[in-house]
Amino acid sequence: MKSRTAILNGDVYVFVFAPPQILQLRGFMSVVALHKAFVRTKYLEGKPERYVEMRKRETVFTAVQEMVEYVYLTDSNLSQGLEILNRNLVYDQTTIDQFRHNTIGDPDYDPSLALMAVENGKPCGLIVAVSRQGDDGPTGGIKFIAVDREFRNRGIGSELLARVERRLAELGVRSVNVGFTRPNYLMPGVDPRYTVACAFLLRRGYIRRGEAFNMDVDLAASDWSTRELEAKLAEQGIAVERLRRDEIERFRRWMTEDGWSAGWQYQVMRAATMEPIAVFVGKRVEDNSFVAFACYDGVRPGWFGPMGTTQSMRGTGIGSVTFLKCLQDMKAKGYRVCEINSVGPLYFYSKVANAVVSRIFWQFEKELASVSSDQSN
């Protein structure tokens, strides 16, 4: 079947040329019927040919999408996916390692939720979502969506979103959020400076439910010395040091016993894979037992967190030391800014390191209609 796309007065028209017998095909007719397209006759080189003129924008989307291929994002096209992300998510450009971590490296990675739009061999759109098993059933989230500028406003973004929502619904997900796909995510929501994307989501039934913010510490502003604070801690029998490789497993067990979530453990364990290990721990000198931790690079390069102190030791100054040790380390590693992820205790970071609020993320959510199996193909 031949097709032509034309833009007239800002509206996109798709003309599909087809001989009459093809118009009888069930799938095609259903498009015609669904979108009230007009079947006309045109004379091409003297021979009558039927063609369908589709005027409704939604119909145009459907027709255009038939020319776009939607393929899974896998190891083989990962770098093309990263390029789409970096061309479009200008506040969240990232590295191939981080991109791999957030996509095929996610323990819940499902290729049917990671799609790339390809038009005539050119990758032009991307959506990555995930479904996780929660205590109350599966939960779902979209990590990012992007369509290259010259391919926008043609329905590709809508189709990527619709496909992923449909798949999530098939997997039993009832509510889908955007961005904050804990514990593995690139950003804890959508930066409102991606205004078109926010408008796009709101128009597609997403509701703004919450907000997260990051804070920045200017690492050049100080040497982040902990000498005095560490001397006070030493009087209480506490030392703060970098987690050692041979302690990682014992430390992970302690995190479980002390009640730190599996999500935080996942992030801290990733920080522990860095070289040098990007985790600092507070320990009782007498028995080497853990009492506190802080880490960076566990969620995303240059991002700090999570950190925590066991209940009985809060207020002793230990959190300040684990945090400041991370700042020293980040500075030594060459970072200029420490970005504290998805804060928490604003007063603490402001007081200890003059951190300032630097980024805001809107958290969107949408309830999905449940899908019965006969609707799911």
Ligand X SMILES: CC(C)(COP(=O)(O)OP(=O)(O)OC[C@H]1O[C@@H](n2cnc3c(N)ncnc32)[C@H](O)[C@@H]1OP(=O)(O)O)[C@@H](O)C(=O)NCCC(=O)NCCS
Residue pair 366/176 in contact (Cβ under 8 Å)? The answer is yes
**Which residue's CB is nearer to ligand X, number 43 or number 91?**
91
Judged by CB under 6 A, the residue of 190, 233, 243, 278 near ligand X is 190
Total residues contacting ligand X (rule CB under 6 A)?
20
Minimum separation from the CB atom of position 237 to ligand X (A): 47
For ligand X, the closer of residues 199 and 337 by Cβ is 199
Q: In angstroms, what is the minimal distance from the CB of 143 to ligand X?
A: 8
Q: Output the six-digit token pair for 2.
A: 């031949």
Site for ligand X in 53-92 (CB under 6 A): 88-89
Phi-psi group of 326: left, alpha or beta (phi > 0 → left; psi -120 to 50 → alpha; rest → beta): alpha
Q: In angstroms, what CA-CA distances link 306 with 244, 256, 309, 345?
A: 18, 15, 11, 12
CB of 318: closest distance to ligand X in angstroms?
37
Binding mask 135-164 for ligand X (x = CB under 6 A): ---------xxxx----xxxxxxx------
Residue 205's SS3 state is coil
Whichever of 155 and 305 has its CB closer to ligand X, that residue is: 155
Q: What CA–CA distances, in Å, run from 327 to 103, 224, 276?
A: 28, 7, 14
**What is the number of alpha carbons within 13 Å of residue 165 lying toward its C-beta?**
21
210-229 residues in contact with ligand X (CB under 6 A) are: none
Q: How far is the CB of 86 from ligand X (least distance, A)?
A: 11
DSSP, collapsed to helix, strand or coil, labels residue 272 as coil
Tell me how far CA of residue 314 lies from CA of 90, 191, 317, 320, 330, in angstroms: 39, 33, 7, 10, 24
Q: Is 159 or 339 the residue whose CB approaches ligand X more closely?
A: 159
- State the Cα–Cα distance between residues 344 and 75, nearest whole angstrom: 35
**CB-wise, 16 or 89, nearer to ligand X?**
89
Contact with ligand X (CB under 6 A): which of 197, 233, 294, 307?
Answer: 197
Residues that bind ligand X (CB under 6 A): 88-89, 144-147, 152-158, 190, 194, 196-197, 199-200, 203
